[in-house]
Amino acid sequence: MLDDGLDFRDEHLWAPLTFGAEKILSPLVWAVSYGCLPAARALVAALFTLGDTDFINRIDPNGQLPLVDAAGLGSLDTCTLLTRAGADVLASDRSGACPLWAILQRNDQQKGPLVAMLLVNKLSEALGRRRAEVVHYLHRPMFGGLTPMQLAVMQRADYLVKALASFPMQLNLVQSGPTPLRSVCEVRCAWCSFPLPLTFLINMVRQSSALNKLCGDAQRPETGDAKDDLLRALVRNDPALAAALTERDCKHGLTLLGQAVAWGHEGTVCILAAACRCA
């Protein structure tokens, strides 16, 4: 195209260039959305030739962003290509979706961890240059009013919870729904050992009675080393910890420590009791 004098960045060319697509898409978004890695590579190479890598972070007329679409497909190769070319992991598309939210929404146990950790590593790299932006991003509610940490806990993405816990943030600071600490203590019932659909989780958070129904007296939360590891990660150096520990549940008026004692969860009691002394 470049040799023929055509510039694929020109929106007037997008309709014929993406002929057959349901919507008029940026050629780069088209290549990513249809999983055509060779085309994506060629377009990124052309952008480097043009000296315009900013185009990678440009939202197309449909509100789509290449990296968000790539993450939503769970494509590690495409996400790697785009981030190496300068795609911004902090950017959101017009709907407000960001790459990390897109991969969590996909709920993919095979591709999800690889893509999510790539994005987290890029966030870590950005800390030195854009610390305030990264910290704001980690605390910003996404769809359903949930933070990335809340989503990671509810989706049982334990690897991501531990990775995010290493960032300079208030792990248990939330605007809606249960704190990550409460979710680990209450919501992760033993009978529910798989990630739940994101739409179900959002609806559950919006209905105050749903949490009690999900974690009724007959369904005691799980115990074990995996849960204890998450608890240790969530109580470590968190400025929002005191509020999370003193918060009482709406059903019995118990704190998390009180619940753990009532349920007889010795490991949880030890971890929370130590956290209470330090908070």
pLDDT band at 228 (very low <50, low <70, confident <90, very high): confident
Instruction: Give me the phi and psi of 189, to 5 degrees please.
Output: -70, 150
Nearest residue to 274 via CA among 240, 241, 225: 241
Rounded to whole angstroms, the Cα distance separating 13 from 74 reads 28
Other Cβ atoms closer than 10 A to 38: 8
Q: What is the pLDDT of residue 92?
A: 93
Secondary structure class of 189 (helix, strand, coil): strand
Domains in the chain, please, with CATH? 1-174+193-206 (1.25.40.20), 217-279 (no CATH)
pLDDT one-digit tens code per residue, 158-188: 899 999 999 999 999 888 888 898 888 875 5
Does residue 202 contact residue 144 with C-beta atoms inside 8 Å? yes
Can you give the pTM of this predicted structure?
A: 0.81
How far is 231 from 143, CA to CA, in rounded Å? Answer: 25
